[in-house]
Amino acid sequence: MKTRNLILSILMFASLTAFSQEKWEMLFNGKNLKGWKKLNGTAEYVVKDGIITGISKMNTPNTFLATTKMYNNFILELEFKVDNRLNSGIQFRSNSLKEYQNGRVHGYQCEIDPSTRAWSAGVYDEARRGWIYPLDLNPAAQKAFRANEWNKVRIEAIDTIIRTWLNGVPCANLLDNTTKSGFIALQVHAIGKAEQEGATVQWKNIRICTTDLEKVRKPESEAAPEVNRIDNFISKTEASQGWKLLWDGKTTEGWRGAKLKTFPDKGWKIENGVLKVLKSGGGESANGGDIVTTRKYKNFELSVDFMITKGANSGIKYFVDTELNKGEGSSIGCEFQILDDNNHPDAKLGVKGNRKLGSLYDLIPAPANKPFRGGFFNNARIVVKDNKVEHYLNDTKIVEYERGTQMWQALVNYSKYSVWPGFGEAAEGNILLQDHGDEVWFKNIKIKEL
């Protein structure tokens, strides 16, 4: 019995010693807002009974209560409770710089979302890229939020790894290197309806750990799917899933002109990890010309980030046969259309919008309410499994079809491709980025063969 008690005492001492080595710092003293400052908006923050309460206000932009200290690598824990009328968030590695939108707060945000969408603890990039880890990527985490109760959130930001938990449930699992350091802030979101005025969001028990993080961080887990937002980079998880870079972000390796044996000597530019087709008057393949992969692909999942300049036209083609069209114009293949729908005349041509962004060009239209963000990089994803094909825009499916069917042939017969026998039915083909004489940017070009 004495031996058993001795063992229990040793284990308890070891546990207490390990806990004591975790150096947590309270960011909120429970009495006042010392160490914090208000930014951007005029919503009110009050302190009572060890709780910070943010109160929504009409006619003000988003308001942030920010730490005066900046943080790089850390683990942050806190509790929050939110009125179901109000959206909110917890900023981290965020900044307010005069040179960026005159001091507008921008950076990572751990979402507080009491709506039926249920994206609390997803990650939003405030005033920059928008959603970078929406919780529709991790449906199990959407059940973690407790309405009208206190919720505990944990944020780990260590080097390029950002992970979140809500009430112990893994939520976001993100790789990103956009910002390495910044403040932590509590958001009172702007409101647009008078009945939302006075809605509150509350925070308490706000603490941070910045040392010995390897001992404090949670173990790796596959409970939350990994999302890699690091440009032109394949993570270990992606590599294990079969993903490879189709463009390395630096050279022209693996690509050539569609009508050349080498890469074009004009019309394309590699700059800061971005592959740019340059503006040259809007002609189809009239300057540097289209570029294609040096090898062909059959069944695959292709992911490409693209950004459209105003009025631009381009496309991502697949099942391309570079031998079909030796004359002027673009090489022939199925096309994920890239277009500024609001400012390019091609959007008004075709049938029922089948020449607009995301459409299977001249064949199948993408929906009008597709999730496109102008002025930002968007993600195009094409999934091909034998004759079945899907187009995704920012993780939302917008087109699906099956080649080789009567419907497919009817679509082809009624399109500009009717003059090309067997269009789109090749077993394999090159992947192509189109030069349509307008400036369009590409990066993060990845492929997984299925």
Q: What is the pLDDT of residues 2-60, one digit of tens each?
A: 444 444 444 444 444 444 457 999 999 999 999 999 999 999 999 999 999 999 999 99
Helix, strand, coil percentages in the chain from 3-state DSSP, rounded to 5: 15, 40, 50
> SS3 of 19, please?
helix
Select 236-449's CATH number: 2.60.120.560, 1.20.1090.10, 2.30.110.10, 2.102.10.10.
2.60.120.560
Q: How many CA atoms lie within 13 A of 235 on its CB side?
A: 16
What is the predicted pLDDT for the residue at 282? Answer: 82
Q: Compute the Cα dihedral for 111, 113, 119, 125 and give only its sign.
A: negative
What is the predicted pLDDT for the residue at 103? Answer: 98
Distance separating alpha carbons of residues 133 and 283, to the nearest angstrom: 38
For residue 190, give Cα distances in angstroms to 13, 55, 82, 106, 387: 49, 10, 14, 15, 47
For residue 393, give Cα distances in angstroms to 82, 171, 345, 373, 403: 32, 23, 21, 10, 21
Q: Largest Cα–Cα distance of the chain, in whole Å?
A: 92
Q: Which helix (H) or strand (E) holds 238?
A: helix 236-241
Distance of CA 109 to the CA centre of its chain: 13
What is the residue-averaged pLDDT of the chain? 94
Q: Is 23-228's fold the same as 236-449's?
A: yes
Q: What are phi and psi of 272, to 5 degrees?
A: 50, 45
CATH architecture of residue range(s) 23-228: Sandwich (2.60)
Distance separating alpha carbons of residues 306 and 239, to the nearest angstrom: 22
Its pTM stands at 0.88
What is the predicted pLDDT for the residue at 284? Answer: 83
> Domain coordinates of the chain in residue numbers?
23-228, 236-449
Distance separating alpha carbons of residues 67 and 204, to the nearest angstrom: 15
Residues of the chain with pLDDT under 70: 1-21
